[in-house]
Every structure is written in C-alpha cells, then in structure tokens.
Structure 1
Amino acid sequence: MKEIFVDINQLNLHYRQKAVLQDLDWTIRRGDNWLLGGTSGTGKTSLAKAIAGQEKYQGDIKINFDQESALPAQTLFVSSWYQFKNLEGDANFYYQQRYNHKQAKDTLTVQAELLKYGQEQSLDTNEVERLLIALNFTTFKDSQLIELSSGEHKKLQLIKALWLKPQLLIIDQPYTGLDVASRRNLNDLLDEISNQGVNLILISNDDELPVNINRFAIIENGQIHERSSFESTSVVHHKILGVLPAFLTERPVYNTDEIIRMKNVNIRYAEKEVLKNVNWEVRAGEKWLLQGHNGSGKSTLLSLINGDHPQAYANDIHLFGHKRGSGESIWDIKKRIGLISPEFHWYFDSTATVWESIASGFYDSVGLFQQIPYSKKVQLDELIEYFDLKQHKNELLKALPLGKQRLALLARTIIKNPQLLILDEPCQGLDQQQTQHFNQLVNELSNNGMTMIYVGHFETQLPTCIEKRILLENGEVKVVETILESV
C-alpha cells in the first residue's frame, strides 16, 4: 500500500459561527492526485486553506514531507483569486485603474514579479521561460500586474506554482479564465510535475483534467465522500426556475436601433497594440458571443463599450446612437448597461451586504450610497427571492461562498433591466448546477428583447440564445458570423 502523505483526523472548521467542516477524516497517499468537486459552498476552499495552514481549525492535519526529495517540502495553495499589491504594498485598486496606463505604472511588471518570486524561492530563472511559452504568456513580460485580465492573472499564479514544484500543490479553480489551448497545455504541465513527484489536489467542476488525476471526492455535510469518477462528483439536479419578476419581462426602451458601432478602432500602449482596426456593429436585441484566446483584446474591447477606457474618445465609436466625446457622460452610458466580469468582482466594495450590492445596480455604483424608493425595493426583493438569496441578504457579500457572491453580482447586473447586458465570463466560480441555472435565466431574459454580449471559453457553459459570434485574435477581428438565425 502507498505511503500516507497527508493524514487528516477529526477536522472541524467554523466560519462566522457556522460549521463548515465537521469531524472530517481524509487520508491522502503519496502518488494519489485528487479532484475535489461538487456543489459550491460546501467547504472545499476552506479545507484547502486548512491543509495549507491558512485557515484556523480544530483537529489534526499531518503532512509527511519526503525530506530526501529534491522537491521543496512545502504545501502551496493557489487561490481562485490573485491578490497583488502596488509598489508601496497597497492592495486597494479601483476597477477603471487597469485601463489607465499612467496609474498602472504603480505595480510591478510580470517579469519583475517573477524575478522577485524566483529569488525568494531560490529557483532557476532559465526554467520559467519554458512555462511562459507553454501557457502563451511571453508577450506579457512587460505588462503591469494591474493591466492583466482574470485569465492572465490565473496564468501568472499557475506559472509560479509549476516553477516551484512543491511536494503538495493545491489549486482552487485551475481553469478559471483560461482559453482552450491554455487548459490543454496546463494539464500536460500538471501531469509532468506529477510524474516528478508532486501530489495534486484540484478543486474544480471542469471535466478537462490531467491524466494523472486518479482519485475523486466531494464534501457533503462537512465530511469527505470519495467517488469513483469525475461524473459522480458533478451530479446536476435540474432546478426549476421560479417566475421571472414582471419588470424583467418588459422590453427595454430603445431610442435607437444602433447599440454599438466601431470603425477602425485602435488601442495602443506605447509600442504594444492591443486592438487593431476593429470594426463591429451590434443592433438592438442581438445576442453576441465574444471569444478569443487570453490576451486577444476582449477585456479592452468591453471597456470601450462600458465607458471605462480613456482611449475611447480618440476612436470612432458610437454607443446607443451617440459618438463618444459628443457630450454624453460616462454615466449616460452606464445607465443603459448591465455588466458583470471577474475584474469587476475583484474590485467590488467588500463592506457591502448582499442587499446593498444588488441595490447598487440601480445607480451603477460600487456599493450603495443612497436611499432607494419603495418601488425599487419591491423589485429588489423580487430579484433576491428569484436568485434564492433571501437568507443571505443581510450578510456581507464577501462572507458568502464565491459562487453565491457571483450570483448576487449577477442579480445586480440585471436589476435595472438594461438595454445592453454584458456578461464577461459570468459563470466563473459557479458550480455546474448554478451555471445551468444562470444560463436558463439568461435564455429567459433574452425573450424580452434585451441586447447581450456574452464572453465564455467553455462551449458547454453557454446559453442557447446566442445568435452571433465575433472572434478576436491578437487584437484583430478574425471571425464575425451568425450561429443562430433569429425567428
């Protein structure tokens, strides 16, 4: 029998006086690589943090590192979120800051961050170049940390972990924000380090896994339950949608059929071209899928639409029938748009309750700073009920499991029944049931004539209402096509 590597006995963990893990026992043997799947909010991340020594717990966790191994006798936990700081050690950033090139200089470059990490861990700097190439990240060496998208930050996290090769590597949501090629290359790299002696624990609901994943488990009622396969960790119970609040069944009021028109749009940072001669038109009521590999320019394109990018004024961009720079303020634009993105989630007000977070969608604010009228309170309560968040409405948003945080922000996105709904990888952090439920909701919303731009890498996680597709490659439009004829 294989040697015991991690031995967990009678583990108990509470979060805000609520029992998350209860008398949990788990034995991990050397050479066993685990997938920890199942429902969002069951305690998977809390367990991972406890094993890595980042969460307080009661009970016993013993890790028997091989002191004769060439691999570091370490446990590395790669979180689903990448927390970085500026040059002065401050982690407080605002959403639009990543598009302001002058203010972005306040953070390290990718290359400087990797050099710093390599020195701290006494790593061979020659080895990291191969990882950068494998994850298609070499062109980001000179990028500031704050300029990176969620997928690019995930790649930086993964490169550090693969470079270190600790004896125990735990990755929370390893495929978040990664394009198809990057996911495939990541799995090859994970198999490679596993063959070199790294034990893996992946927290994921994705079925594209490394070959070396050979054990499967879920957490139910605070305890580990082993399963025989990936499929048995991801049973989806089809949830019946409630009645959509009446205000969301009404067609948005359009004053023009032209929602977006871009003509020869170019975005450049010094010598780096991010968007090149982009031409795109979106008409009222259309449902678009926006795709492209990590770094293709998707986030920048969306920032031009949402009014967050300062270079919008230097380009020929019409939004809702008006040319940017012709008198409309950023708030005139935002009142017509509902937006959710991983980056927006990062920078959202951490002191807001669920109720306040959703209500702020009426005013396009990051947090709620004013009283809302009774009519809006009624809509808010209807939406909270619809999203099954009633029991959490007075809790801090940050206190919820990541999946429920995302659902609350999705509710915020649609609360004003916007003319244009921008869903940038909206299902990051959701389990399979939540993903299916949300896309059912998107399909139902699409019936009211709302215009939509949906960004998603996973073909199996898309709503069926998508009609058109635009594909970016290295900042250029490569494909514009109709994929579903409107009825």
Structure 2
Amino acid sequence: MDTQNSLDGIRLENLTVNFDEKFTLCNIDWTIEPSQHWVITGTNGSGKSALAAILAGVGEITSGKIEGVPKNIGLVSFEAQAELIANELKKDDADIMDVISLGTPVHEMIFTDCLDPELATELVEKFGLTSLMDRAFRKLSTGETRKVMLIRALSNKPDLLLLDEPFDGLDADTLAMLQAHLASIIETTPMIMVLNRFDEMPDFITHIAYMDKQGDSAGQLKYTVNRQDDVAYNELYQLLHLKTTDLDVPEMDESEKPPALDPSQPLVKLTDISIKYSDTVIVDKLNWTIEPGKHWQLSGPNGCGKTGILSLITGDHPQCYVNDIFVFGFQRGNGESIWQIKQYIGYVSTSLQWEYRVSTSCRNVIISGFFDSIGMYSRPSDKQKKIADEWLALLGMTDRADQPFNKLSYGDQRLLLIARAMVKHPPLLILDEPCLGLDDMNRQLVLALIEKICAGSETTVLYVNHHAEDKIKGIENYLAMTKNKG
C-alpha cells in the first residue's frame, strides 16, 4: 500500500481484500478526491465498516491496488474501540506483573503524543470529560470511551478522518456539538464516515458510497453518488429505505376483499398445456402448479411462451378454453367470468405502464388499484387513503404523494404500479418483466420491493423475467422455459 503525507487523492482499483477469511470485499473501484467528504452506507453485513477499514490498513489485499492513503489517519470505530479496551485488560495479567495495574488514565490516553493539546483540552471540556481525566480508561462507559477516541482522532491533526458510526450513543447536545466541529474543519480535513441512517448525514457530505451484499461472506461497492445529483441521490435514499426499513407491507381494506379461496387448493394448476398457432407449437404439454405462499420465478428467452402462459392464467388468451386450466377454484370453461378470475390477480407489466398516461397524483395511482382503474373515477374511503399513504411511506415517497405520476422517473412509476397492484393483497401478484427498461439503480429498487412483498404478505408472487440467474431473496421455485424448436 502506497502512503503519502497529504491527501492528493486516494484510488482503489479492482481491489479485493480478505478479512480473516471470514469476509471479502470484491472488485472495489473507488476514487476519493481531496475536496470530497464521503458517507459509506448500505445494508447490514454488506461491508461498510470493512471498506473504511481498508484505508486504515486492515485486511489482506489479494488483488488490485490502493494508492494515495495518507500516513496520519484519525480512526474512530467499534473495532478500534474494542482493541483499545482489550489492550488495557491485558495489563491485568497478574501472572507476569508484581503489582495490580490500575490501567491507563484518560488524560494519558488523550495527551500522550497529542499534536494539538490546545484543541484536545477544548474538546475534553465540550465532551464533558474534565472530571474523568484521572479515571482509568477501561473504567469508562462505552459512550465515554467513544468520546475519548473522538478527541484523540480530532486533536492529532489527521490528514484523513475515518469515522465509523461516530454519532452512535451521543446525546442530542453532544451530537450537535460534534457535527458543528466537524463542519468547521472541512476545508482542511477530508472525512469518510460510515452511517446507517441518512438523517444523520452532515450537510457537508459531498458523496455517498453504497455497499451491497454478494452472498453471505462478501460485499461490493455497488454505487457511488454525487450528493448534488438529486435524481441519483433520491434513488439511493429509496433503495436504502426499502432495504433497511422496519415498515411492513401495509394491510388490506377488508371491505374490498374478494370471496375467500380454499387454502387446500392450488392457486393455479396447468395440465398438459399447449399453445400453438397453425403448425407452430409455442408451448408443448406444460404441467405447472402454483400453491399458495410458494413464490415462483418464470424465466426464458423471447418467443418461449412466457406471456402466453400468463395470458392463460388471467383468461386473456383465446386458447384458454381448449386447455386444462384450474385457477382460483374455477375449472376454466365452466361458466366463470373473466372478472371472477381477475379479482384474485395483481398484474404489473411494461405495457400497463405505457397505458397509464393519465395525469393523476402518486397517491391516486395507488388508490386506483382498489378499483382496477387507470386514473381515479370513484371517491376513495378514508381507509383507502390511509393505506395508500402507508405504501408511499414504504416506498420512501411520502413527500411526493401529490406529485403528478407522469412527471416521475420511469423507475418510480414502476414502484407505484407495483404498490397499486398490491393494495388489495391479491392472492397472486404477476410481475411481468418488472425491471424491463430500468437502469441498474432502479432495477435494484424494484427487486428490493419484491423482496419486501415476498417476506411480508399473504400474496404469492410470480416474477417473470429473461434471466434465470437473476434471483430474488424469498423466491425459491423456478420454471425455466426454453424456445420450442419444433
């Protein structure tokens, strides 16, 4: 690792780092310019702290390179805090010492080798540690220990500050004081913070790095976003919100609930299904059963019959009456109406998004799902308005409730249409290529919402896409169709 005395820019290029063979950061590409202040955020276990620790020299680099890391780094983290405490406890080893160690006093921890004693003295007073200067460091509370580490880091004139959850455990007054002090040194001291909560992000932060999991023991730097890019920033906020929020899928309006289904019966049962046009066979003798609560992914190339199968289920295909189809308690062709079938289905597709061109608010788009309409032509109940607002909260879009749907980004429109399909908690939610036309960030947003639905509702999800390898947590059943060559 190359180091330097002042920060001219740090570059991580295709970097892979192992941490005690338990966790790996993979293929990290990241550039930190001198005038930038970063927050690293992401889901639990994604490697946020590990990414910051790399800059402090932690981990074994197995490939790639890192350049430009300064020598004088101020580090505050739970791991560094635990290491300091562990070193202090070692002094209690009575077998090799003739006297009982009282431990290193706080004033020694702060002022030994301190490069700015005047600032350290000022911070000791501001952090309320004056009366604890003679106490053993290891006798402090967790919050007091964190304050000592902050004072040490800030008063040693660091060329780079690495602060991992620096605001955890601080009371409101102390947090405000620390935020103000950090803001006062942004011209001279670049900062990189690890934060779980966006609402704690200081105003001076210029860029955000978003970490995501790659399996159970690996993480990856997924996105880097300039905070001034409002669109990218809002998308990242929504993604983190959907990935980490404790909000559950909103409840349904019981007054709109369709007749109950027999839970012992499958939602869909297709027996020896065939779809053909003249002499061309698209689907040949397909058997498929969808049980309640068993989420499915249906994948395959263009022309393999995915859309045709969906149309058989929804009753929109002309060949549904010449096939053996059982859906929602009805044997197709025995006098049921298409609306008796559709009341149990929520459907989202790109074609629906093309059709939904009316100028109505985001809230009303969701409410329209209660009436299966495009636009609003009925007066909603207070209950339905409340449920729509809960969906907006889940999506991180509360502040856009009254914005026109047709003014939103393509990705936000797709999220709202999924919420629209879900407001009635349909027994079956069909998502036909929901990521089609979306960039990677919006694709991640849609997949995160699908994960939320799979984990938190009684709705069975049928996710349709081109790629079998594009898996979603919570979906464990797969039907991979191939193009019929006959």
Which bracket does the TM-score occupy, shorter chain normalised?
0.3 to 0.5
Q: Over alpha carbons, which structure has the higher Rg?
A: 2
Q: TM-score, normalised by structure 2?
A: 0.46
